[in-house]
Amino acid sequence: MPQCEMCGSQESSLTTTKVEGAELELCESCQGFGTAVKTQQSTGGTSKYSTSSKSGKSSGSGSAGGSTSSSGGGSTRRKRDMFDDMDELAGDYDDRIREGRESLGLTQEELANQLNEKASLIRKLERGDILPSDDVQTKLEKKLEITLTEGTDVDDTEWSSGSTGSMTLGDVVERKD
């Protein structure tokens, strides 16, 4: 007899329900915590899920539910996400800010006034206590004529599914002995 994934009760039939983005098999008393998921038969005979709150998208290769099966016969390339286009903040951003400020002969307070920011923010940035917001990072780079970002060390193509597998984790990780 199946068991409810929320309360653990044994029930004869459970309903697939979407709760906080996760699809769970729930009993009748727990279904109120989410949205019932309707199963639709696709042309391939496998069921596709869609919540009742979404508009009716019944077909397409990107099925709802986040499944990453390779049944479509397509490539196994990683999907691009928003982080692929972002630059990575340099590990020594605090030193770069301090050196840039000192090269202009400015105090932390003077730099803060010129950037229209608080001096405590500059102090925290130079100590490495906080990361600069995008707005502050842009102001600092422009005023101090520095760059606070760095490119990635490992090319993304080396991590693609088509690689020969010659690179291992040991090639990338730095050990601290």
- Is residue 65 domain-resident? no
Band of residue 52 on the pLDDT scale cut at 50, 70, 90: very low
* Domain end call among 6, 27, 51: 51
How many Cβ atoms are within 10 Å of 80's Cβ, its own excluded?
9
- Is residue 140 domain-resident? yes
Could you read off the pLDDT of 138-159 as tens digits, one per residue?
999 999 989 888 765 444 444 5
- Is residue 35 domain-resident? yes
- Is residue 68 domain-resident? no
Instruction: Report yes or no: 31 and 18 within 8 Å, Cβ to Cβ.
Output: no
Q: Which domain holds residue 36?
A: 15-51
Domain count, the chain: 2
Mean pLDDT of 39-46: 51
Domain of 146: which CATH number?
1.10.260.40
- Is residue 44 domain-resident? yes
Mean pLDDT of 36-56: 52
Q: Decide if pLDDT at 126 tops 80.
A: yes
- Is residue 96 domain-resident? yes
Instruction: Report yes or no: 15 and 25 within 8 Å, Cβ to Cβ.
Output: yes
Q: Decide if pLDDT at 7 tops 70.
A: yes
Could you read off the pLDDT of 62-112 as tens digits, one per residue?
444 444 444 455 556 666 666 666 678 888 889 999 999 999 999 999 999
- Is residue 141 domain-resident? yes
Tell me what pLDDT residue 63 has: 42
Exposure string of 131-160, with b = 16+ CB inside 10 Å and e = fewer, is: ebeeebbebbbeebebebeeeeeeeeeeee
- Is residue 71 domain-resident? no
Output the CA–CA distances (angstroms, integers) from residue 56 to 82, 107, 125, 134, in the order listed.
Answer: 26, 60, 49, 38
* Domain end call among 51, 68, 96: 51
Tell me what pLDDT residue 171 has: 73
Residues 45 and 95 in one domain: no
Mean pLDDT of 157-174: 63
